[in-house]
Chain A
Amino acid sequence: MTREQLPSTNRGWSSGMLATEDWWAVWIGLAIFAASLASLGGADLVGWMARPRPWEWTDLTRAFAWSKLFAPAGAGYASWHPLAAFAATYAIFTALFAFGARSLRLGVRRFVKGFTVLFVVTWAAWIAGNELHLTMVDAAVDGRNRYSDAALSWGLQLGEGAPYLLALIAGLAIGNFAKEFAAKHLGEAARPEWYIKTAIVFLGVNLGAQTMEASGFAGELILTGAAATFVAYLFFWPIVYTAARRMFGFKRDVAAVLASGISVCGASAAIATAGAIRAKPIIPVTVSMVVVIFAMLELIVLPGAYTAFAPDQPIVNGAALGMTVKTDGADAAAGALLDELMIARNLQLTGQQWQDGWILSASLLTKIWIDVFIGVWAFVLAIVWIRKVEKRGGAVRIGPMEIWFRFPKFVLGYFLAWGVFFAIATSWPALAPTLDAGTAVVQSPMRTMLFMLTFVAMGAMTDFSKLKGMGKIALLYGLALVVVIAPIAYAVAYLFHRGLTPPLVTP
């Protein structure tokens, strides 16, 4: 029996703690967060992280310097050569993820090779995306127009969304025009869910900082996110299930798996539902392939569309995205892109700059609540299926531990990071500024880099040609998305969040 074929069954509450991406996202995320907390004792253990800088190409070609492109993020590391910071960033993140990959029984050499390619593409997109002609917005902020200051003759004015778009384009180019290379060299490391879940643990630190700044707003986002759960499970699911059965003639098990994949939380829900009703694994495999491709289409279309059509409804757009886009990776990536595009657009239109992260939080908190309940939903569905559909209640029994096995563990890391930040800041208010400054590297460049890595990895594993032959399933997905999910999600988000805007950046 090879390493890949070794049984990996969930037997007890601690199963998989060292053997699943989900748990390793928690360990890596919390380990880096813990290192950043050393700042409370005066030590900066994370300032080695490299951070891209805004640059302009004529200026760079006139007098090239690495320091114009990126620099160490921590003030204590300012004397480091930029390439030393880049090397440290590569070495430390590669080591952390390779260590995790070893526990996941992946081929470590192949993982490191693939990770290295993704890392280089990520950084190339990140650096290129910080060129001023792509990012700079023509607007006066606090009486100063940096677009005019830079004397730009033209600009796309995409704000910080530009690097994300470049990362997405680069990933999709690899996934669709270099398929053999992607399959042979990147398969082991193209794990967008692992990277995004680690980034989401970092976002817990952001949520802590946001809660300190506007606790009422953060609380409202959390509560309304919980309300969205009912929409996904009690509105979307029955509608899509009924459509799959009545309009498309799918069998019960296929319809149930499709309904979960399309309306709840994507591939994760499709697998959980298929397991709950004990469907043949080929069903969730097929549905998941379609979900991943449609999630990419949603990621490409929705952030730009929402920004264009409703530039004054940032939180509505974020929450609607959270209910509409499936898979954690695509939802968080779409939320991050929407966050940056909306901030840039609002700056163009009003000259006011919203704080970043709030629109992303609106999207993510909505999605996280939906994720949390997938275990409960699958458990209920399993009982209904055994008793009412298969009518085998006396012969087959499902244990409540199934809820825990299906619980998304990265959520624990997210809320733990938030809770620790919030507890320290509220228990020792004098330490709050040091805490915020010390964890700033985790909140911004580290989190952004993992988002960028997610964009590239998602693109690299998305092959649009796989939609061929998926006829009825793809048609149902498209119809459900356009006719049911997107409109209802937007209406519900509008009901809860209309008029809400993020706090403004203070000078």
Chain B
Amino acid sequence: MSARELVLSFERERWRAYGDGVDIAHRHLRGLETLIEERLASEAPVDVHLKFNMAALPRWLHQYQNHYCNYTLHVPVRSGRP
């Protein structure tokens, strides 16, 4: 299984994933994940590590908590292939 890494952000009311040749956005996180799956699906399953960019949160909030979320999205093989 291969792995990719994208930076996750929230800008202008939209979730955004970028890096590694990808830059996509969607109003809902579930919708963004579907776009990522469509974009990165290949012949082998891929783990996409999403690292949240804290710069998307107002600076005054960082003093309270300096981490939002990281998670891994499992992208299955492209549909129609074994």
Contact = CB atoms under 8 A, between A and B. Distances in A.
Contacts of B57: 271, 281, 284-285
Contacts of A288: 61, 64
B71 A397 contact: yes
B4 to A, nearest CB: 14
B59 interface: yes
A398 B13 CA distance: 24
A395 B55 contact: no
A219 B65 CA distance: 28
B67 A10 contact: yes
Given A22-B66, A267-B61, A267-B65, A8 B53 contact: yes
A99 to B, nearest CB: 17
A193 B66 CA distance: 12
Contacts of B33: 395-396
B73 A268 contact: no
Given A5-B55, A9-B52, A285-B57, A266 B64 contact: yes
Nearest to A16: B66
A404 B18 CA distance: 25
A447 B53 CA distance: 33
A4 B59 contact: yes
A461 B55 contact: no
Interface string B49-76: 0011111111111111111111111100
Query: From DSSP, what is the main secondary structure of chain B's interface residues?
Result: mixed
A7 interface: yes
A6 interface: yes
A280 B70 CA distance: 14
B68 A21 contact: no
Contact of A284 (B52, B59, B61): B61
A21 B55 contact: no
Given A8-B53, A8-B55, A280-B10, A399 B63 contact: no
Nearest to A267: B64
Interface in A251-268: 266-268
B7 interface: yes
Contacts of B29: 278, 280
Nearest to B67: A405
Contacts of A267: 61, 64-65
| B54, B68, B71: most-surrounded residue (chain A CB, <10 A) | B68
| B59, B67, B68, B69: most-surrounded residue (chain A CB, <10 A) | B67
A276 B52 CA distance: 11
B68 A271 contact: yes
Given A271-B68, A285-B57, A191 B63 contact: yes
| A5, A6, A187: most-surrounded residue (chain B CB, <10 A) | A5
A171 to B, nearest CB: 15
Interface string B1-39: 000000100100000000000000000010001000000
B72 A275 contact: no
A271 B70 contact: no
A94 B21 CA distance: 43
Contacts of A402: 67, 69-70
Contacts of A192: 63
A10 B68 CA distance: 9
B72 A9 contact: no
A497 interface: no
A179 to B, nearest CB: 14
Given A5-B55, A9-B7, A285-B57, A395 B73 contact: yes
Contacts of A6: 55
Contact of B60 (A284, A382, A461): A461
A7 B64 CA distance: 18
7 contacts: A9-B70, A22-B66, A266-B64, A271-B61, A382-B71, A396-B74, A399-B71
Pairs A-B, 3 closest by C-beta atoms: A275-B69, A9-B51, A193-B63
Given A397-B72, A401-B70, 17 more contacts: A5-B55, A7-B51, A8-B54, A20-B66, A21-B66, A193-B63, A193-B64, A271-B65, A278-B71, A280-B29, A281-B68, A284-B61, A288-B64, A395-B73, A396-B74, A397-B47, A398-B70
